[in-house]
Structure 1
Amino acid sequence: MTPTARTFETAVMPHLHASYNLARWLLRDDRSAEDAVQEAYLRAFRFFKDVRGDDVRPWLLGIVRNACHDWLRQNRHLDDQVEFDEVRDSETLGSSEDRSHADPLILLDHRDQAARVNQAIADLAPAFREVIVLRELEEMSYEDIARVAGVPVGTVMSRLSRARAMLRKSLQGERPAPTASANALRERKA
Structure 2
Amino acid sequence: MAATNSQTESNSGSSIFGAGGKAPELRTVIKEDVASFEEALLPHLDAAHNLARWLLRNEQDAQDVVQEAYLRAFKSFSGFHGSNGRAWLLTIVRNTSYTLLKKNQAVDFTTFDEEIHVVADEFASPATILEHGEDAELI
Q: Does 1:68 align with 2:97?
A: yes
Query: Residues of 1 paired with 2:54 and 2:78: CA distance?
Result: 29
Q: Tell me which of the two structures has the higher relative contact order, counting C-alpha pairs closer than 8 angstroms and 6 or more residues apart.
A: 1
Match for 1:73: what amino acid? K
Post-superposition CA distance 1:122-179 (Å, at most 9, x none): xxxxxxxxxxxxxxxxxxxxxxxxxxxxxxxxxxxxxxxxxxxxxxxxxxxxxxxxxx
Question: What is the TM-score with the length of structure 1 in the denominator?
Answer: 0.40
Query: Corresponding residue for 1:107?
Result: none
Number of residues of Structure 1 aligned to a counterpart in Structure 2: 78
Post-superposition CA distance 1:14-48 (Å, at most 9, x none): 00000000000000000000000000000000001
Query: Corresponding residue for 1:124?
Result: none
Gaps of 5+ in 2: 1-29, 108-139
Query: Residues of 1 paired with 2:31 and 2:102: CA distance?
Result: 35
1:77 is displaced (CA, Å) by: 2.7
Aligned ranges 1:163-182 → 2 under 5 Å: none
Match for 1:30: what amino acid? E
Match for 1:18: what amino acid? A
- Of all paired residues, the percent bearing the same amino acid is 49
Query: Corresponding residue for 1:41?
Result: 70
3-state SS in 2 of match to 1:77: coil
1:65 is displaced (CA, Å) by: 0.3
Query: Residues of 2 paired with 1:2 and 1:42: CA distance?
Result: 16
Runs of 4+, deviation exceeding 4 Å: none
Bigger Rg, structure 1 or 2: 2
Question: What is the TM-score with the length of structure 2 in the denominator?
Answer: 0.54
1:74 is displaced (CA, Å) by: 1.1
1:76 is displaced (CA, Å) by: 1.1
Aligned ranges 1:22-171 → 2 under 5 Å: 22-77=51-106
Query: Residues of 2 paired with 1:13 and 1:46: CA distance?
Result: 15
Query: Residues of 2 paired with 1:77 and 1:5: CA distance?
Result: 39
